[in-house]
Each structure stands twice: as C-alpha cells, then as structure tokens.
Chains A and B, each alone.
Chain A
Amino acid sequence: MRAAVEWITSFLDGPKPSAARIAALLTDSGTEIEACEKTADGWIVEAAITSNRPDEFCHLGLARDVAAVLGRTLILPPHTAEATGVAVEQALKVVVEDATRAPRYTARVIRGISNGVSPEWMQQRLLAAGQRPINAVVDISNYVMLECGQPLHAFDLDRLNAASLNVRMARPGEKLAALNGRTLTLAAEDLVIADGLQPQALAGVMGGSNSEVTLATRNIVIESAVFAPRGVRASARRHQLRTESGHRFERGVDRNACSAAGERAARLVLEICGGTLAAGVFDLGGAGPAPAPISFNPARVRKVMGANVPQRKMSTWFRALGCSVDESAAQWLVTAPGWRHDLHHEIDLVEEVVRIAGLERVPERISMPLMVATEPAVRLLRAEVQDLLVGLGCHECVTPDFVREGAEASAALHMQAIPLAAALPVRSGEGVLRRSLLPSLLRVARHNQDQGNGTPALFEVSPVNGLGPTGTPARRQLLGVLLACDWREARAVLDAVLSLRGVQATPNAMSEANAALDPTARACFKSAERTLAFLGMPAAELCGDLRHKALYLEVDLEALDGVGTAARRFMGLPRFPAVVRDLALKVRDAVSYSAVEEAVQAAEAQDIESLELFELYRGASIGAGMKSLNIRITFRSSQGTLTTAEVDQRVQLMIARIAAATGAEVRGA
C-alpha cells in the first residue's frame, strides 16, 4: 500500500517523525517499507503488508503501529455526524437476503447535497496515496477508506429504482454496467446490491454506472458494509476486477467499526457538500460477537524471545495496539480489538511484544546440545554418482518436471506408475509429470545442438513421481544419462555407476511394449533379481530433430543402493605372475559376445582372472555378415606360477570349446 507520510503522522501527538524514521520503524515492527520517497505530492512510503495484517491497509492502521513503537498517543479523527433530516426509513428501503455473504450492512441517506470538487487538502492526500480525485462524494468515500480501512460506496439515491437496496445473489446472466465501463455478466455466485429492478453494484468489488454519483447528484446513500472475504475474492477473480475495495474485503475489515466509518463519511459530506443527514441508519447484522479474551502469561515472552521485556511495557504496548488488558492475575486477560483478526492465542500476543520490542533485542545465543548429522543413503549415493559422472566428462542438468502429453508423457522405464498431471498446466498440453528423465534430457540436448554446442554428455539426478496402484503417490530417485557414444562406452559408464555400490549387472531383453527405447538397441540390467538400469537408443518419436545418435541410461538409485554396498574389503594382491593370451575369433555377426564369454568360462575357468574384448571389427576383409572379435585372456593361479604348457593346454581346450559353441574360426595369438 502506498501511504502519505504526512497523513500517517497527522494521527500522532507531539513532534512529527521524519519519513525515513517512519519507514524504519514500520519495517522493524513487521511492515516492510519497500520504498520511501519524496513525490510532487509529498513524502510517501510503499508498505508491503503481510496477509495477517489487513488492519494496516489504511493510514490510521500504520499510524497505530508507529504510535505503539514510539509510545505516542493516537489522535482519532472525529466521526460523529448530526442527523437533522427525516427518518432514514422514509427515504430508503434496505433488505439483506444473504447475511452469510454480507454479515453487516449499513446505509445512511443524505439529501440536498451540492457535489463539487473536494477540498485541496483532501485532494493532496489522495494524490499522495495514489488516488485520482473525481468529485467530492467519491473522494470522501476513498478518503475514509484510506483513513480507516473500511471501503465505502455511495449511490445516487434518485437513480435507484423504488428507492430500495437489496443485498442478494445475482440471477445467472444478469448484467451490471460497471463503473469501469465494462458490462459484467453475473453468475449465481456473485453477491450484488440491487435496486428494485437490477444490480447496482458487485458487492465489495465495484459499483455500477447507473447509480454513479456525479456532479449533478443531489441525494445519496452511503453504504458501509462487511462482505465475506471468500465471496468477494471469487467475484473479483471471476470478473478480473482488482480494486482497492475488493482487496480490503478479501483480507477482512473490522465489523465493529463499519458503521462508524459510514458516519465519518457522512460527517465529511455534510462539511464539504452540505445537505441533510436522514435520522437513523440501516444497520443489518450489527456488530459481531465480542471477541474472547486471550489468556496471556507474560513469562512466556522470555521463553519464546530469549530476552527480557518489562511487563509494564507489554501492557502499554497491548493498549496502544487497541487491546484491553486485565493484569489483575498472574495470567493476564487480553482482549483484541475488532480490527485485529490475527490475535487469538497467547503466541499471537507474544509476537506483538517481540515485533514492537524489536528483533535486535534478541541475542544470538545457542543453548542447543551437539547433535550428529546424518544423511539418507540414497543422497550419499547421489553425490557419488554426480562426482563420478562429472569426472567422466558429463554435464549435470536440472530440468523441470513437466513434459508434454503424448510420447514424452508415455516415456517410462523404471517408473511405471500412472502419470499425474497438473490441473492447470504451465503451457497448453504441457502439464504431465515425467516418469523418466529421458524427455527432459533430450530437450537439453536439442537446445545445445541448436546453440552449436556439439553433443555434450548430459545427466540429471532427480526424483520422478506418479500414482501407484493403491492410488497413493509413487516416487523413484532416478539417474538419467544421455550420451553421444557407442554401446560399449555407454556400458562402461553404467559399470562405473554400478561399481559405486560394488554391483555388476547383466543385460536382459526388455519388455516388447516399451516405447521409450528403440527395439533394435536396448537392454535392462539386473542384479539379484532387481532391475537396476536401462540402456538404449531413445525412440525416434522422442528425439525430434536431434541429429546425432544418442544412448540413454537410466539407473534406479534406491534399487542400486539396496542391492549393493559402499563397504569395501581388501582382497590381497596376487602372489604369482599372470600369463596373457590373445585370441582372434572370426564369427557370424548374429553370435553374441555372451556366447563367446560363456564358452570361455566353461573351459577350465578356475584360473581365468579376466577376459577382455580389445577389438571388434567388421569389414570387407573378413566378409559380409561376419565380425572379428579379439579377446585377451589373463590366466593366474593363486597356487603357483602357471607354466607355458599348462596355459597352452587350456587355450587349446578353450579354442575347441568356442569353435563348437559358436562356430567361430579361432586363431591363437
């Protein structure tokens, strides 16, 4: 809220504090002043008012906090108006049909006014507070709202059909020509102020142009009412109307002070525009129930704040803020004023003391005992994975969870739960929660391609979410890696990740139905019956205009952590030397490497330390449909040094076995 400093200080007795002082005081007591500047209309402050303090949406409210901090007396403006006219019931008829939506409705009538421009002092304050002067009556209603926070509305009595007001729900499709020039089509949920014929105002939000007060207006109705916050908020949203009045009703106004504000406006009208105030007031609903006193133990302040505040100061502050205080017992009884909807419990009063005393009074003193800090195992694995992949040259990405309906939303590997979608998507069609990190990483890859950044290796570690079979949320902690490399290199990355938990996994065929990875290049990797990872070429549908061939790797980090362990045990160093033999195999393309591996392992496997494929070759020199596999076998015994004869014998056996199992043509090297 924009407030005029001169207006705030006009409510304080004694010397007037400077604008800067006001700004600092308000900020330090919980009302952040975002700007304090001198304008053509005087010094102003921009106050960011928290949602619990609607009472500060007026100059008097801001002044009250300043007075409490400074220990000054608040000077309230006079609000009584002398009624010399006929009884108000003779001039107007008021009915409230929906008391839930309009808990209190007051109306006063003034006849015979002479509306003109408002006085200069009023115009200057309005301008400083950001309100454009219109005419005296309208300015007065705005002025009183900015003064005490109660929104008011003035109707031209002569333009109300049957001189009546009915606070009722709108009939669906009913029209209201609003003050801003728009014609609103009302809904059944809109509360309106209607005359005998039609709606004249959207309650609490905006008046209608039919009964607008103009310079020609002679007789007026001053409405001062309380409308239920939710109803006002819904109507304001429905019709996309942001108004000062709606803003205040949405946050709540003081039901007890509602009539006094109407009278204050009437007084100003009589002063400025003349006329005669009808005797009496329509007051439907009346003041609310008296607020219950709050039991307050002053000793609680020290416990919460960690600092001493004298009890005498506490009671002075409570009174300055408008509370009544009964200090006769150790347990005080404090009753909040009608404008403070946020004071219900002892802790609310403690907060008042803390903010008026100032947080700089709180010492920085730790009384907490030492505690050991732990971290979930999967988070530790996550950090290890991040460091490993960065070391391997991959770039970590952070991407939003939303993907597009269709192929992106369908992409799922580890997470097969039902996809969830935002009721209001961020962009049309883009509101589904991803179940795989693949679509997100492909987007990043395309961005980098379009920027001419080449084909960087990318990864992301993130949870994905869906809906589990029991209708409760399902969540998986995933690692996704998008690589521009061949299958064997991608497997090396996978092995490096799995080895963080000492796990080895074997490739298995994937389910036919999976649409995320291309059927010609994909596998799932299992260990101890659990699926730990998927590796494969992303389906063309997902790749879009990605020009390079990519491989995607997805690891379920919780599964990996569950299967493996971070613990390591030293196995000793070998005592005897190794013997290395290379074999060159010429084999049909269709023969898998695992067939060769099995044949090797089957033959005298006990002393084979390792088996390594060091070259894979396809080409004209070895013929179509064939491939050459060059493997290196390391033999080592734990019992003694292997002799050449022993190794030769095993290699011969092995060659025969491989040839029989795979039809390979084998040459020893």
Chain B
Amino acid sequence: MDAAGVNDPLAVVAAAGDECRARIRAAESAEALASARSAALGREGRLQALMELLKSAAREVRPALGVALNALKNELTELAAERALALGSVASGVVSEDITLPPTTLSRGSLHPLTRTERRVVQVLKGLGFSVTDGPEVEDEFHNFVALNIPPSHPAREPADNFYLAGVPYLLRSQTSTVQIRTMETQQLPLRVCAPGRVFRPDEVDATHHYMFHQVEGLAVDEGLSMADLKGTLLLFFRGLFGADVELRLRPSFFPFTEPSAEVDVRFPGRGWVEIGGCGMVNPAVFAAVGIDANRWSGFAFGLGLERLAMRHCSVPDIRHFTENDVRFLRQLA
C-alpha cells in the first residue's frame, strides 16, 4: 500500500476503477473478458484487494469509501455483462440463439385482393357518411334500364351486350347503378349510400376485360346538392384512398342516368392523368322514375371499377388473375 493510497483511498479506488474498466472494454474474446472480469471482480481480484482499504481507512472516510466500492463493483459487473453480450456470448457455458435461423411456415390464409380493395373504398366512403347497401345481381329491365333513363331503343339494351336470362323477364345487372334505383325507391331522404357488387357484361375475356367484374357505386340525395358537392366529395374520397397529394379532374361525358355527367381522372405528383370512374348529377328523369320531386331534391352519383383499381394498386397486369385464384397470386397480394 503506498502512501498516497493510505492518504486518499477514494483516489486509489478511482484509479483502480479506470484500470479495470479499460481492461474489460479492451477484451476482444470470451477468454480475454473472463480473465479481465476475474482480475477485477474475482476472489483474488482488484476489488477484493480494495476492500482491505476499508479496514485501514479513517473512520470518517469509511462510509464514502464503502459507497464508492459498491458502485464500482456494480458498474464493473454490468460492464462485463454488456461486453459479454457484445462479444456474442452471454456467459461461459450458455449457447446463444442463432438469430439467423429461418422461420418455420405458418399456414397463413389470404384475403382476396378485390376484397381488400373493396374494404379500402368502403372504409373511406363510410367515413364520408355513405352507408353501405346491397342489391340483387338478377335484375329486371325497369331497374337496369328504364329507371336509369335508358330507353328501349338504346344500344345498351342490345341482347348481345347483356346477359339476359332465358325464359324469364330478368337479366344480370350490367352496372351497380341499379342499386341507386332500389335505394331511392325504399329509403327516406336525404340519403347517402354506396353499393359494391358484381356486374356482368358479355365481353370477350382478355387481359383487361372479363364478363364478370366489380363496381362500387356512390349516391347522395339531399336538398341543394350541386356539382361542387360532387367534386368536393370525390376529392376527399380519392385523398382518403390514395393520399393527400392526389389531384382530381372531371371531364364532361355522357351517362344516361346522370346529367351533367363527367369522367373522373386522378393524378399523382409527377405522373399522368388516369381515368378512374364516372360521375354526375342524378338526371331528373331518374328522379321522376322513382317518384322523387326533382324541384326539391338533387343528387349526385359516381361509380368506379374495383378490378381496375386493384390492378393499378397491386401492379396486376391481367384481370384473369382475379378469378383464377392461383394461391401463389393470392399469397403475394395477401
């Protein structure tokens, strides 16, 4: 014990601490660490030797010295454990987990991408106050054509362009707009509904066409609705669906059941306009067909195809994937 140590035991502890810390930190192998640990904390170690100072220290220094030794012991113990972790071995004799092992396979199922798409659309529309409603796939001509202002001579009613059903006065609906009519026939005004569902058109099946596909229709009827409400609603809807930086453009177009009518285009920053659906103000002829007073009420409607949305969103190049249901496809989009 040198003179300085006797005179200032706290300085001795501090110096020893620095030395032990440095040695533990410098250990580059489990063996080196074990020896550094033992040199510091072992039975014959440095700390044990320092304990001897307590006996010889002046009475008034002893409490402070005791605290300092305890703190150093805890610190060195922790430091050694940390170093051990860093060296990849928790303690001698314990084998650590091989964290690079691959996972086993869980039998996870998958939600169909069209269901996912429909849910996203419906979720946003519900947030805007559009109740979800359902309508039949097997329709009569009144709901599929007449009430939608599609007169008997209209080419849209051609047998070759529709799935008329054999022997009965019904056909498979060619658009979800039929649900507009059914809703207005039965529900109290004002109303705000959306109707997702299957529609059918005898198109040749190819990469972008199928005879069965899905649409979502939106309809709002209230007092004093104008195209400003339509445009505002669509903007919120597409922001909800695609994010706040999406832009909206309406282009005048024609649908028998809305007037004025428009095509709906959206654009993402730095990309081109993409046509995504149709919309318009409910045609007074449609209101007349369901007995709604067009002088008091006005409304707007919009519709979009779910397949097209899902194809764009998930980079699906061929619409036939959706009905083929190859599980490799389903798993990728799950």
Interface residues of A (CB under 8 A from B): 27-30, 32, 50-53, 229-230, 233, 237, 250, 302-307, 345, 347-348, 350-351, 354-355, 359-360, 362-376, 378-379, 383, 386-387, 389-402, 420-424, 426, 431, 433, 444, 447-448, 451, 453-454, 456-458, 462-463, 465, 467, 471, 473, 475
For residue A400, which residue of chain B has the nearest CB? B212
Chain B min CB distance to A459 (Å): 8
Q: CB-CB < 8 A to A462: which residues of B?
A: 198
How far apart are the CA atoms of A302 and B231 in the complex, in Å? 15
**8 Å CB contacts to A: which residues of B51-103?**
none
Are A53 and B254 in touch, CB under 8 angstroms? yes
**Can you list 13 A-B contacts (CB < 8 A)?**
A51-B154, A229-B153, A304-B227, A307-B228, A347-B259, A348-B259, A355-B260, A386-B115, A398-B114, A401-B198, A420-B170, A447-B326, A453-B326
Are A373 and B225 in touch, CB under 8 angstroms? no
B109 within 8 A of A: yes
Are B111 and A390 in touch, CB under 8 angstroms? yes
B34 within 8 A of A: no
Decide: A383 near B260, CB < 8 A? Known: A304-B227, A355-B252: no
Q: CB-CB < 8 A to B190: which residues of A?
A: 369, 371
Chain A min CB distance to B257 (Å): 12
Chain B min CB distance to A321 (Å): 13
Q: CB-CB < 8 A to A376: which residues of B?
A: 132-134
Chain A min CB distance to B88 (Å): 37
How far apart are the CA atoms of A359 and B108 in the complex, in Å? 48
Chain B min CB distance to A436 (Å): 16
Decide: A354 near B252, CB < 8 A? Known: A373-B132, A473-B138: yes
Are B260 and A354 in touch, CB under 8 angstroms? yes
Chain B min CB distance to A420 (Å): 5
Are B326 and A448 in touch, CB under 8 angstroms? yes
Are A390 and B109 in touch, CB under 8 angstroms? yes
Are B109 and A367 in touch, CB under 8 angstroms? no
Q: CB-CB < 8 A to B232: which residues of A?
A: 363-366
Are B108 and A393 in touch, CB under 8 angstroms? yes
**For chain B, which range describes its interface: under 10, 10 to 19, 20 to 34, or 35 or more residues?**
35 or more
Are A305 and B226 in touch, CB under 8 angstroms? yes
How far apart are the CA atoms of A471 and B140 in the complex, in Å? 12
For residue B140, which residue of chain A has the nearest CB? A473
Binds A, one of B14-22, B23-31, B160-168, B177-185: B160-168
Decide: A370 near B129, CB < 8 A? Known: A395-B110, A400-B211: yes
Q: CB-CB < 8 A to B283: which residues of A?
A: 347
B250 within 8 A of A: yes
Decide: A383 near B284, CB < 8 A? Known: A368-B129, A393-B109, A456-B327: no
Q: CB-CB < 8 A to B192: which residues of A?
A: 368, 371, 373
Q: CB-CB < 8 A to A451: which residues of B?
A: 326, 328
Chain A min CB distance to B310 (Å): 10
What secondary structure prevails in chain B residues at the interface with A?
mixed
How far apart are the CA atoms of A411 and B70 in the complex, in Å? 82
Are A50 and B253 in touch, CB under 8 angstroms? yes
Q: CB-CB < 8 A to A444: which residues of B?
A: 324-325
How far apart are the CA atoms of A307 and B53 in the complex, in Å? 92
For residue A30, which residue of chain B has the nearest CB? B252
Chain B min CB distance to A86 (Å): 41
How far apart are the CA atoms of A653 and B106 in the complex, in Å? 44
How far apart are the CA atoms of A378 and B134 in the complex, in Å? 10
Q: 7 closest A-B pairs (Cβ-Cβ)?
A: A306-B228, A306-B226, A30-B252, A393-B107, A50-B254, A371-B129, A355-B252
**8 Å CB contacts to A: which residues of B113-168?**
114-115, 119, 122, 125-134, 136-138, 153-155, 158-160, 163-166, 168
Given A368-B233, A424-B160, A433-B138, 19 extra CB contacts under 8 A: A303-B224, A303-B226, A351-B252, A351-B261, A355-B252, A359-B249, A362-B227, A364-B231, A369-B190, A372-B131, A373-B125, A395-B330, A398-B323, A400-B210, A401-B198, A426-B205, A447-B325, A471-B168, A473-B138
Q: CB-CB < 8 A to A303: which residues of B?
A: 224, 226, 298
How far apart are the CA atoms of A164 and B253 in the complex, in Å? 45
**8 Å CB contacts to A: which residues of B219-277?**
220, 222, 224-229, 231-233, 235-236, 248-254, 259-263
Q: CB-CB < 8 A to B122: which residues of A?
A: 375
Are A366 and B109 in touch, CB under 8 angstroms? no
Q: CB-CB < 8 A to A420: which residues of B?
A: 138, 165-166, 168, 170
Among B109, B114, B163, the residue within 8 A (CB) of A389 is B109
How far apart are the CA atoms of A454 and B112 in the complex, in Å? 18
Among A363, A365, A401, the residue within 8 A (CB) of B212 is A401
B36 within 8 A of A: no
Among A30, A53, A362, A397, the residue within 8 A (CB) of B325 is A397
B40 within 8 A of A: no
B5 within 8 A of A: no
